[in-house]
Amino acid sequence: MVWAGRGVAGSGFEPANFSRGQGRAPGRRRGRVTRRAETMVQQMLYRALVSTKWLAESVRSGKLGPGLRVLDASWYSPGTRQARKEYLERHVPGASFFDIEECRDTASPYEMMLPSEAGFADYVGRLGISNDTHVVVYDGDHLGSFYAPRVWWMFRVFGHRTVSVLNGGFRNWLKEGHPVTSEPSCPEPAVFKATLDRSLFKTYEQVLENLESKRFQLVDSRAQGRYLGTEPEPDAVGLDSGHIRGSINMPFMNFLTEDGFEKSPEELCAMFQAKKVDLTQPLIATCRKGVTACHIALAAYLCGKPDVAVYDGSWFEWFHRAPPETRVSQGKGGKA
């Protein structure tokens, strides 16, 4: 059963409140069982979002340190904005820069692939993050959030559950007049132990097998034109647009409001329902390079589904490895 969280997208530090009273049979025993199930879900669903107000109060009251770390995970296409330069100019006080170009498998021919367990552990340990740290991630994208959900998922796939995305991102942090600094963060290094959770991670071979077994629903988070193959992949050489056969398109931008905040759990659940995506069944998220797919994982999490897997290689790997008949496009004569 999937429980729709009502409070997790709000302003507080607490986990979601979950909808009650639906489908409950009469009787005290039934009520106890239902409440126990809700409690288990609440414990499992660590708060995925924190508000700018909550983080600002945490900064003001001096709570940042070994128990609470903030990461700026901004990244921009080459030739546009410079993420590290902007971080050095202004960022949330106490925030460290999380360089997604460094924290990846640099030996892979594919884009943004996960680093090894040891590589991730070493990288985040140098940012002062231990297994007891609550991590809050944001980025400076004009949409409100772009790369932050990827880092949120990276922590979760390496076994760390106490991680949240700053709802509204740096865009709204600035808009609301919260403090910024140009002073780089120099945290004391910590020890982080990473353990890959393979249930949240899918490989090319597993997605290929799924085309026949259909055990997982496959949802693509890219813009509709790129999914259909009618618009090109940005900044791509030798990569046509299109999608994996059988995948459903849910552009990640639609999960965000015009002001850059995550939509409410009720709205998100309605979006999945409209696309006939069953959140009681297994789900794999994909995109171009495993980044915006994490928005699907986050949106489903806010609907009470914490087990969405991300196909790390996504369309970039699929295009270069998969049989042509598994690549669908309305451009270039049909097959991508």
Q: Tokens 């940042």 appear where?
A: 64
Interatomic CA distance for residues 169 and 138, integer angstroms: 5
Nearest to 171 by CA among 61, 251, 234, 90: 90
Q: Tokens 């990640």 appear where?
A: 252
Tell me the residue ranges of DSSP E strands in 5-47. none
Nearest to 275 by CA among 219, 326, 228: 219
Hey, how many other C-beta atoms are within 10 angstroms of the C-beta on 325? 9
- 246 CB contacts (<8 Å, ≥6 apart)? 211, 214, 218
Nearest to 196 by CA among 247, 157, 225: 157
Of all helices (H) and strands (E), which one includes residue 315? Answer: helix 314-321
Token duo for residue 85: 């330069």
Instruction: Give ∠ CA 11-13-19 in degrees, rounded to 5.
Output: 75
Q: Which of 103, 269, 287, 303 is catalytic?
A: 287
Q: Please say if 186 is a catalytic residue.
A: no
Backbone Cα Rg of the chain: 20
Interatomic CA distance for residues 73 and 304, integer angstroms: 25
- Measured in Å, how far apart are the chain's first and last C-alpha atoms? 38
Token duo for residue 203: 């490989």
- 173 CB contacts (<8 Å, ≥6 apart)? 52, 55, 56, 92, 138, 166, 180
Interatomic CA distance for residues 240 and 238, integer angstroms: 7
Q: Which residues are the active-site residues?
A: 287
